[in-house]
């Protein structure tokens, strides 16, 4: 049962809907005051009464029962105490019977969500700037699946554009098959950088010619292009495997080359296309935006044109309930324009398109990805994190078996968590020491807590029993309440497209469990107390595992 909801439904404030009360219910800082509380400050304006008065009145009206046993009004807060025995048995039973599926639900049944994320550019570096879209998108994928939605993960490949003409030209002049096969994406990228630095006007014009050859379906040019594409995809697949990321579709920009015309025709038929300096645009001035360019004066399509075709294709193919685009906030305008154009074309589903923006990631030493200069390859960041994790483990626990495997889980987890822990819109500075700290708000800390819980369970060697009438103490109650809040956290996180809520939840739960662990004996306790504490430990371990797995992070048994 959702206790917050139970409480919210029984608070009646005139002129305030239950849905407005529910999200305002909080955990008071210490449970002496209450288990749940409603701060009344927000309602003062509507009701034109002081928060203290509001809390007093609500307290008088609230009827206690066997679930909510006590209500008090303190300094503008309405505090609730609940039947802790009931909550504890209910929550522990639920977790220990549902296990891996604890927190899952069917709210999404019958609905499809498309998620466009990671969207790599062929033959270009897969760099640290791609970390956020990859891990945020992947985590939303897992989350929505867990909530019962059908999810379609789409990698909208950047495989269209004049740069591929340049690449082929550079390859013809300076490259050879053996080096490219061996060096893969790095060798291809070197060719591209060299072209940008050294190409003269003769080569530039050759490059345009090669691009036209690709476009017109020339076999030779397309073979080279497809080869570069397969090398890039093979390379990124290695990274996706490490990060536990998967896709259902790799329909990229090229896939839409032959699907734009009908959409352009529709724009024209609906009188939305305007000529401007020979180009075809949709005027968006009325909406405070620059025009959306559909066709260049030479007739070439643009990024937006292909996205337009892609949106139609997705709607027709998947009939989505929502279509998310996990793309950096630098593209805010692009998506505003795109969604507006689709709306102007008369499509009701335009409202179901959602840009999920995120901030930039830079490294502590100031190095950042740039067009020509220094590029921080994501692969290097992951490998460095795994290596550092190995060293930390070696130092803390040299006797440990399977150190490589554990270091991989810890290192990869740290990279993912480092990118997910903050609200996604924030720019973040990635620090190896910070993400790998055992003490901070990190995945390592959470994984370590899991290893601790696991060791308690292994040592006990008995099958878990949940006692019926055990009265939990303060620290135990804090853990129980946090456990009970998991489902709600997942729903919030999905509603706001914020995996960071899950990351924070895991850290909070780990902190609460550790406080309990330090203050209480478990294995040397007796009777119901021991049984309860073991059940609490097992339920915490299970819930932490479920939370981390939604972020794509594994949990080692030992650390």
Q: Check residue 327 for interaction with ligand ARG (CB under 6 A).
A: yes
Q: Is 63 exposed, middle or buried, given 0-12, 13-18 or 19+ CB atoms closer than 10 A?
A: exposed
* CB closer to ligand ARG out of 127 and 409: 127
What CA–CA distance (Å, rounded) separates 408 from 414? 10
Site for ligand ARG in 362-391 (CB under 6 A): none
* CB closer to ligand ARG out of 121 and 437: 121
* CB closer to ligand ARG out of 116 and 379: 116
* CB closer to ligand ARG out of 116 and 531: 116
* CB closer to ligand ARG out of 119 and 443: 119
R_g (Cα) of the chain, nearest Å: 28
* CB closer to ligand ARG out of 130 and 142: 130
CB of 130 to ligand ARG, least distance (A): 8
* CB closer to ligand ARG out of 108 and 158: 158
Phi and psi, residue 305, nearest 5°: -60, -40
CA distances, 64 to each of 22, 27, 71, 470 (Å):
18, 19, 7, 22
H/E stretch holding 74 reads strand 68-74
What CA–CA distance (Å, rounded) separates 94 from 88? 10
* CB closer to ligand ARG out of 127 and 142: 127
Q: How many residues does the chain have?
A: 559
CB of 183 to ligand ARG, least distance (A): 22
The angle subtended at Cα 363 by Cα 360 and Cα 367, nearest 5°, is 100
Which member of 35, 116, 206, 498 binds ligand ARG (CB under 6 A)?
A: 116
Which member of 35, 307, 498, 538 binds ligand ARG (CB under 6 A)?
A: 307
**Runs of H (alpha helix) within 349-437:** 378-396, 403-420, 432-435
Instruction: Give the interface size with ligand ARG as a residue count (CB under 6 A).
Output: 9
Q: Check residue 121 for interaction with ligand ARG (CB under 6 A).
A: yes
E-strand stretches of 139-248: 150-154
Tokens representing 336 are 């505003």
165, 209 Cβ separation under 8 angstroms: yes
Tokens representing 311 are 């949106």
Q: Check residue 158 for interaction with ligand ARG (CB under 6 A).
A: yes
CB of 416 to ligand ARG, least distance (A): 20
- The three-state (H, E, C) secondary structure of 496-550, written as one string: HCCCHHHHHHHHHHHHHHHHHHHHCCCCCCCHHHHHHHHHHHHHHHHHHHHHHHH
CB of 309 to ligand ARG, least distance (A): 11
CB of 160 to ligand ARG, least distance (A): 10
CB of 310 to ligand ARG, least distance (A): 6
Q: Check residue 195 for interaction with ligand ARG (CB under 6 A).
A: no
Site for ligand ARG in 210-229 (CB under 6 A): none
CB of 325 to ligand ARG, least distance (A): 5
Per DSSP, the three-state class of 474 is helix
Q: Check residue 119 for interaction with ligand ARG (CB under 6 A).
A: yes
CB of 335 to ligand ARG, least distance (A): 8
What CA–CA distance (Å, rounded) separates 26 from 492? 14
Tokens representing 375 are 């590029």
CA distances, 396 to each of 74, 225, 434 (Å):
47, 49, 17
Span of 113-121, 270-278, 286-294, 512-520 interacting with ligand ARG by CB under 6 A: 113-121
CB of 302 to ligand ARG, least distance (A): 11
Tokens representing 388 are 């550092």
CB of 495 to ligand ARG, least distance (A): 22
357, 425 Cβ separation under 8 angstroms: yes
Q: Check residue 161 for interaction with ligand ARG (CB under 6 A).
A: no
Which member of 325, 339, 430, 516 binds ligand ARG (CB under 6 A)?
A: 325
* CB closer to ligand ARG out of 116 and 538: 116
What CA–CA distance (Å, rounded) separates 16 from 172? 70
Q: Check residue 138 for interaction with ligand ARG (CB under 6 A).
A: no
Which member of 4, 127, 156, 512 binds ligand ARG (CB under 6 A)?
A: 156
Find the helix packing angle between 474-484 and 84-98, rounded to 10°: 50
What are the strands of the beta sheet with 150-154, ordered from one edge?
150-154, 112-116, 322-326, 353-356
* CB closer to ligand ARG out of 325 and 501: 325
Span of 86-94, 116-124, 216-224, 225-233 interacting with ligand ARG by CB under 6 A: 116-124
Span of 42-50, 115-123, 227-235, 516-524 interacting with ligand ARG by CB under 6 A: 115-123
What CA–CA distance (Å, rounded) separates 150 from 111? 6
* CB closer to ligand ARG out of 247 and 325: 325
What CA–CA distance (Å, rounded) separates 316 from 260? 14
Closest CA to 280 of 297, 265, 267: 297
CB of 124 to ligand ARG, least distance (A): 8
Span of 114-122, 226-234, 280-288, 512-520 interacting with ligand ARG by CB under 6 A: 114-122
Residues that bind ligand ARG (CB under 6 A): 116, 119, 121, 156, 158, 307, 310, 325, 327
């Amino acid at each position: 049962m959702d206790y917050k909801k139970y409480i919210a439904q029984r608070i009646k404030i005139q002129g305030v809907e239950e849905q407005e009360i529910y999200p305002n219910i909080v955990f008071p800082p210490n449970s002496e005051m209450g288990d749940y509380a409603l701060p009344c400050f927000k309602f003062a304006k509507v009701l034109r009464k002081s928060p203290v008065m509001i809390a007093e009145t609500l307290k008088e009206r609230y009827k206690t029962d066997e679930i909510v046993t006590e209500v008090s009004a303190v300094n503008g807060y309405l505090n609730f105490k609940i039947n802790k025995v009931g909550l504890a048995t209910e929550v522990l039973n639920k977790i220990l019977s549902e296990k891996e599926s604890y927190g899952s639900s069917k709210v999404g049944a019958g609905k499809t969500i498309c998620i466009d994320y990671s969207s790599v550019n062929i033959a270009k570096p897969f760099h640290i700037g791609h970390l956020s879209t990859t891990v945020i998108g992947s985590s939303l994928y897992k989350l929505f699946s867990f909530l019962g939605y059908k999810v379609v993960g789409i990698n909208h490949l950047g495989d269209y554009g004049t740069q591929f003409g340049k690449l082929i030209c550079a390859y013809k002049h300076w490259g050879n098959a053996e080096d490219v096969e061996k060096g893969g994406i790095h060798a291809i990228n070197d060719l591209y950088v060299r072209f940008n630095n050294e190409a003269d006007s003769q080569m530039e014009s050759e490059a345009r010619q090669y691009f036209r050859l690709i476009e017109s379906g020339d076999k030779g040019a397309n073979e080279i292009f497809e080869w570069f594409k397969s090398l890039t995809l093979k390379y990124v697949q290695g990274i996706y495997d490490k990060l536990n990321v998967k896709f259902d579709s790799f329909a990229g920009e090229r896939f839409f080359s032959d699907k734009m015309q009908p959409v352009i025709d529709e724009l024209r038929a609906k009188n939305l296309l305007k000529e401007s300096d020979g180009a075809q645009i949709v005027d968006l001035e009325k909406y405070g935006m620059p025009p959306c360019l559909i066709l260049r004066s030479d007739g070439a399509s643009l990024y937006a044109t292909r996205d337009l075709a892609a949106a139609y294709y997705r709607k027709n193919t998947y009939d989505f309930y929502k279509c998310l685009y996990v793309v950096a906030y630098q593209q805010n305008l692009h998506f505003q324009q795109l969604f507006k154009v689709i709306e102007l074309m008369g499509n009701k589903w335009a409202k179901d398109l959602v840009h999920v923006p995120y901030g930039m990631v830079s490294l502590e030493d100031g190095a950042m990805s740039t067009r020509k200069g220094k590029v921080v390859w994501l692969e290097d960041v992951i490998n460095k994190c795994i290596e550092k994790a190995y060293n930390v483990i070696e130092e803390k626990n040299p006797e440990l078996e399977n150190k490589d495997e554990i270091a991989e889980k810890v290192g990869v987890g740290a990279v993912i968590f480092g990118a997910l822990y903050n609200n996604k819109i924030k720019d973040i500075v990635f620090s190896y020491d910070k993400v790998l700290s055992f003490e901070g708000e990190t995945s390592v800390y959470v994984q370590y807590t899991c290893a601790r819980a696991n060791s308690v369970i292994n040592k006990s060697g008995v099958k878990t029993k949940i006692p019926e009438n055990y009265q939990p103490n303060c620290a135990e109650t804090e853990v129980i309440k946090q456990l009970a809040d998991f489902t709600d956290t997942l729903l919030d996180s999905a509603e706001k497209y914020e995996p960071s809520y899950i990351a924070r939840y895991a850290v909070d739960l780990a902190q609460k469990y550790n406080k309990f662990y330090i203050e209480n004996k478990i294995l040397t306790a007796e009777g119901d107390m021991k049984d309860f504490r073991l059940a609490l430990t097992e339920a915490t371990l299970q819930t932490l595992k479920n939370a981390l797995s939604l972020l794509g992070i594994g949990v080692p048994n030992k650390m």
